[in-house]
Amino acid sequence: MDCGGPVEGWMLRYGGGGYYVCHICDRKRQEHYCRCVMGDLTKNFSRWEFACNCGCGFDRIDMELVENLQSIRDQFTMPIHVSSGCRCAEYNNSIGSKPTSQHVLGKAADIWIADVRPIYIARRAVKLACFKYGGIGVYDTFVHLDVRGKTARWGRKWR
């Protein structure tokens, strides 16, 4: 039986015993995705990076967000680490986030870049139209970016 993963076109097949097998690297996985598939959304971003942290498979990320994260990545010429992308309602609730979180809609990502302060990422992001009219939250170790369609700013370090 061919699993296909949570999104059509994923290179996994059901291997039995609760495992999936990657068509590319032929390794067993418990997840519905394989990290060997890099750059399937943009040059540097893959769908698995945005999947819900609970392991449910929710990974329907907004491509406007991903394309603009790629623009930021290209400007910094350093990898962007996604600590939280899509969140299912259950996981979002379990971490105490608001039910109206843009993460639940697949329109947000919490990101960090090694050795780059979050405020510098935010200052670069605000220059892009989608984030100028989106959400930017600056935290101690990461920045939240979303494409909600209206301006929102928060975080004590933003001011």
CB-CB contact of 76 with 124 (8 Å): yes
Residue 152: helix, strand or coil by DSSP? Answer: strand
Q: Between residues 69 and 17, which one has the greater pLDDT?
A: 69
Residue 130: helix, strand or coil by DSSP? Answer: helix
pLDDT in tens, 70-95: 999 999 999 999 999 999 999 999 99
The alpha carbon dihedral of 5, 9, 11, 15 has a sign of positive
Instruction: Identify the pLDDT of residue 17.
Output: 61
Q: How far apart are CA 74 and CA 36, in angstroms?
A: 21
* Averaged confidence pLDDT in the chain: 82
Q: How far apart are CA 145 and CA 135, in angstroms?
A: 6
* Nearest residue to 134 (alpha-carbon basis) of 142, 86, 126, 45: 126
pLDDT in tens, 137-152: 999 999 999 999 999 9
Residue 13: helix, strand or coil by DSSP? Answer: strand
Residue 9: helix, strand or coil by DSSP? Answer: coil
Residue 51: helix, strand or coil by DSSP? Answer: coil
Instruction: Identify the pLDDT of residue 26.
Output: 56
**CA distances in angstroms from 18 to 15, 22, 23, 49, 158, listed in the order given:** 7, 13, 16, 22, 45
Q: Which domains does the chain have, with CATH numbers?
A: 1-37 (no CATH), 38-154 (3.30.1380.10)
Q: Are strands 152-154 and 135-138 parallel, antiparallel or unpaired?
A: parallel
Confidence of residue 9 (pLDDT cuts 50, 70, 90): very low
